Amino acid sequence: MTTLTMRREDLGISWAQLEYPPKSYTGMPIAATATTGLTGPLTSPWVPDGKKLAAHIASVMPTPPESPPPGRVASAHGDGCNNGLIDETTTNLGLQNLLHVSTSNSDRYYLTRKCCYVFHCLNLRTRFNYPNIPNKMIIRDERVTSAMEQVVTEEMENNGLATDDQKAYSSLIAKHTKRAHKLLNDMKAAISSTLIRLTGYVLFKVFSNLLMSVTIHGGQQEVIERAAKRDTPIIFVPLHRSHVDYLFVTWVLFNRQIPAPVVAAGDNLRIPVFGWLLRGLGGFFIKRRLESCKARKDILYRAVLQTYVTHALQAGYNLEFFIEGGRTRTGKPSMPKGGLLSVIVDAYTNGTLDDALIVPIAINYDRILDGNFIREQMGQSKVPESFWGAVRAIIKVLSTNYGHARIDFGQPFSLREFVKNAKGVASRLGLNQPQNQPQSEIILGCTPPLSPTPINVNSSPVASDLKPLAPLPQDVTTTTLVTGKGHQRSLSSPASSDHLRLKRTLSNPSSAINAISRTNSNLHEARSNSSLFGNDVTDEYRYLVKSLASHIVYDAERCQAIMSTNAIAWLLSFVYRNGTSLFTLTKALDALRDSLRTRKRDTGFSGKSKDVVIHAVKLLGAGLVRVEKPQETDKLRCEETDVLIAPITLLPNVIELNYYASALTPVFAVDAIVATSLLSLLDCDLWSYKDCSLDILIDREKLIKRALRLSEMLQNEFLLAPPCASLDTKLHESVDSLVDMGLLQNAGSIHNRWSDDSDEDDLTFSLCYKMVPSTSSLEVIGAWTTMLAPILDAYYCTACNLHTLITRQTPDKVFIQNTQNHIAALVDKGTLRYGESMCVEPIRNAVKFFETEGVMESYTQDSVRLLYLANEYDSEDRLSAFIAEIDCYRS
């Protein structure tokens, strides 16, 4: 494989033959002053002085001309309701480099320019009203007191104490009250305006030394600034790549003079100095793996956490948390976790919260500042964070160039609108609806939050039933709270509780409905007072949280910019794995950029592709990419075709290269699944029939069915479609693209299928295609199928290792380690080509899929998770059939 083709407009033209920009350029050597700033002749495209070359690229890259405005790619759901935040002004604003501040302009005084970051930070407003949330208010909340009573009751029963033993009861209440205070003191944020200003300046200095640019769309900043002026809390939900992400959003908001949010951080970061710094910047610390069995049993902790977050939102704080839980170890988005998101949904559905604006965020880097995750992907334990470890990491980071960073804010959408648009979906899916639920209750489900609602709200039962709901409960008193944004928010509190509740009036239909439905619906009664991560929830509630989480991750991934290192790593990993010339790689990057633009995906780079390739290869480094050039280039400039660029495919280096390449895999995932499914239907090598018409018919419905099954297998790897969209439709669109490409041609007749004893009403039709493989189309689907090959190899080897579980149980860590050893042995023998197949993540995802399929089961004993085969698969014959099903997708 030497070239790759485009997908649509330039069909039949190889990627290496395409040019970017569209007008042809000669490929002559670029003037030295244009690339390095030097006056002398340039002897090689790989200049030893990378800083000057980087400086040139930095001056070009922050403003990519192909970057679409906000709202075009920020939403995964097309044009729809934008909550009045986006208009022509915001969409016309271009990209901005945050490291360039107005105080550095040439019209400023010399001292101002020299200390530009000092004066810039001094001019920004940081003093906002961050209300204190007293521990006493949270501990007296009904949710916390109920959880405390439940814990005390269980402890008394376990210790054999009488239920009427008041002395023991009081002693245990005091004990757990003290623990609740400690939990809150360890958890709570303590935002300092002075620390935010000081840290903002320090980050300017640090980022300007580490990064060439920090780019954001001006329109996206304007949208967030408009949203912050509303009396509605904002929920920032970034994808998580680096520990720097904790500071990035706060720093961007600091530049726009928007109050800092409270940021959920793992308690592993509560280390000396750095923990204090994070807390002052808005960080509040929560336990990791909140969805584990041990965390679910800690009822009091869950109640304290849920109540603290709810009160913070009521007090006017914005919230930021990472929906993936931890940093992605693979480079592509991880599957969402619904823990903290369920707190927000619960606050809305029970009427505590009027509404919230949810903002998906994607942050990407040319090179991640945290190093790499090779150690963890190889199956070794994670090194715990420590003070001296952090100091050593900072020293190492400060001496390295990390290229460009890009932050993208997705289009904000209303939680209230999301729930309204979800009406009826749950019932269509056959989810359990409480029998005593009134007709006016919103059925929880999923439709696009940014699309117009398919329901006429004005004529719906929800709107028509509002009049009789006017009377409020007699035990509710209205209060007013000044929020952290300077607004006054109307709140109401039960007379017997310090728990703050939003006032429910006819001006807020959702609150009015929820006020009544809370007493009539078992949606909340089915959950405990500490419903965070609880299992005892209705199907509607569980589906709503899962759908909302999937929407957020899908939207965030859709608005994520592809960086130069992502593009080059993808091309080297899946197109030119054996290496190629600088000239060919440059042309391939031209075509890849055009393909991304066709798919409405943004890139975090611009300029000539040759400069981008050189920039990316230098950032990836000699450990990931090998560059070879003729020896005589010391005196004479070598031609681009003489410079060989090849990936390092040895373990463990290839794992890090795959990390950067994986940022692009969600973009082509659907096409890759269809292409892999297509090849699985054939029993011949298509390259042998290049430019010939095969005498083989492909049944469209059979192809779609095969692709759906593969999509099901890879459900833990990719979010192929938002919950409101049809995956089947996306697969059909991908098949159509293969027709446009020329790989498939309509057979010219409808393929009829019916049984001999059926009547005409049972007649079904299926469209068929014949294969017409060309060099260009085979290279395209070759890249797509190669992209999935390491994952499918990992799944296949994991399935083969299931034989070790016949009639026995094995700890999951041991099973995964044995599978890794098995894959490593096959790679050493040359049986498997892709060393990245032995990464822990795809093996874990394979185990999850096997459990979903009912092939494997598990239980926990003494904190050890044990795996074993289900009864019907506890034999060689049944396992062999299951393994063969996975193997059929491997080329």
The token duo for 330 is 């693979």
Query: What Cα–Cα distance (Å) separates residue 598 from each residue in 593, 595, 605, 667?
Result: 9, 5, 16, 11
Give the pLDDT confidence of 707-734 residue by residue, as tens digits.
999 999 999 999 999 988 899 999 999 9
The token duo for 142 is 């009904």
In angstroms, the CA 328 to CA 564 distance is: 19
Secondary structure element (H or E) that encloses residue 250, with its range: helix 245-255
Residue in 105, 96, 104, 35 with CA at minimum distance from that of residue 64: 96
- Name the least confident of 88-102, 332-346, 765-779: 88-102
Give the pLDDT confidence of 158-200 residue by residue, as tens digits.
888 888 888 899 999 999 999 999 999 999 999 999 999 999 9
Name the more confident of 470 and 582. 582
Burial class (CB within 10 angstroms; exposed 0-12, middle 13-18, buried 19+) of 631? exposed
Give the pLDDT confidence of 591-644 residue by residue, as tens digits.
999 999 999 999 999 999 999 999 999 999 999 999 998 765 544 455 666 789
Q: Are 640 and 611 in contact (CB under 8 A)?
A: no
The token duo for 141 is 């909340």
In angstroms, the CA 832 to CA 829 distance is: 8
C-alpha torsion 815→819→821→826, nearest 10: 160
Specify which residues 490 forms β-bridges with.
Answer: 480
pLDDT of the residue at 739 = 93
Mean local confidence (pLDDT), 375-390: 74
DSSP structure class, residue 24: -
Answering whether pTM is above 0.85, one says: no
Amino acid at 414: S
With pLDDT > 70 as the criterion, what percentage of the chain qualifies? 71
Secondary structure element (H or E) that encloses residue 425, with its range: helix 425-428
| Parallel, antiparallel or unpaired: strands 644-647 and 580-581 | antiparallel
Secondary structure element (H or E) that encloses residue 313, with its range: helix 299-314
Mean local confidence (pLDDT), 849-859: 95
In angstroms, the CA 228 to CA 423 distance is: 28
Q: Are 579 and 646 in contact (CB under 8 A)?
A: yes
Mean local confidence (pLDDT), 204-216: 93
- Name the least confident of 160-164, 243-247, 573-577, 578-582: 160-164
Name the more confident of 480 and 206. 206
pLDDT of the residue at 294 = 57
Residue in 47, 212, 34 with CA at minimum distance from that of residue 618: 47
- In the chain the first and final C-alpha atoms are separated, in Å, by 15
Q: Are 288 and 321 in contact (CB under 8 A)?
A: no
Query: What Cα–Cα distance (Å) separates residue 456 from each residue in 134, 421, 452?
Result: 44, 10, 10
Q: Which domains does the chain have, with CATH numbers?
A: 94-367+383-466+508-561 (3.40.1130.10), 784-887 (1.10.10.10)
| Parallel, antiparallel or unpaired: strands 488-494 and 764-771 | unpaired
Give the pLDDT confidence of 438-491 residue by residue, as tens digits.
333 333 333 333 333 332 333 333 333 323 333 333 333 333 333 444 333 333
Q: Is the dihedral of CA 741, 747, 748, 752 positive or negative?
A: negative
In angstroms, the CA 623 to CA 616 distance is: 13
Please provide residue 360's backbone torsions phi and psi, each rounded to the nearest 5 degrees: -70, 145
In angstroms, the CA 220 to CA 465 distance is: 38
Q: Are 630 and 588 in contact (CB under 8 A)?
A: no
Is residue 79's pLDDT more than 50?
Answer: no
pLDDT of the residue at 732 = 95
Residue in 351, 354, 355 with CA at minimum distance from that of residue 521: 351
Q: Which of 23-32, 110-119, 151-160, 790-799 has the highest mean pLDDT?
A: 790-799
Question: What 3-state DSSP class applies to 217?
Answer: strand
Please provide residue 500's backbone torsions phi and psi, each rounded to the nearest 5 degrees: -80, 130
Give the pLDDT confidence of 40-59 residue by residue, as tens digits.
333 333 333 434 433 433 33
pLDDT of the residue at 752 = 53
In angstroms, the CA 569 to CA 621 distance is: 11
Query: What Cα–Cα distance (Å) separates residue 653 from each residue in 434, 521, 767, 788?
Result: 54, 55, 45, 19
Give the pLDDT confidence of 125-143 residue by residue, as tens digits.
989 989 999 999 999 999 9
The token duo for 517 is 């439905």
Distance of CA 78 to the CA centre of its chain: 19
Taking the CA atoms of the chain, what radius of gyration do you get in angstroms? Answer: 29
Question: What 3-state DSSP class applies to 97?
Answer: strand
Is residue 69's pLDDT more than 70?
Answer: no
Secondary structure element (H or E) that encloses residue 95, with its range: strand 95-97
Residue in 59, 189, 65 with CA at minimum distance from that of residue 593: 65
The DSSP result for 634-657, as a single string, is GTSPPPGGG-EEEE--STTHHHHH
pLDDT of the residue at 491 = 32
Q: Are 866 and 859 in contact (CB under 8 A)?
A: yes
Distance of CA 735 to the CA centre of its chain: 26
The DSSP result for 378-391, as a single string, is TTPPPPPP-HHHHH
| Mean predicted lDDT score pLDDT of the chain | 77
Residue in 603, 225, 246 with CA at minimum distance from that of residue 406: 603
Is residue 202's pLDDT more than 80?
Answer: yes
Burial class (CB within 10 angstroms; exposed 0-12, middle 13-18, buried 19+) of 529? buried
Question: What 3-state DSSP class applies to 453?
Answer: coil
pLDDT of the residue at 579 = 95
Mean local confidence (pLDDT), 751-779: 69
- The residues, any chain, with a CB within 8 Å of residue 482's CB and separated by 6 or more, are 129, 131, 316, 488, 489
pLDDT of the residue at 231 = 87
Q: Is the dihedral of CA 199, 204, 205, 207 positive or negative?
A: positive
Name the more confident of 765 and 450. 765
Residue in 275, 242, 248 with CA at minimum distance from that of residue 370: 242
Q: Are 409 and 256 in contact (CB under 8 A)?
A: no
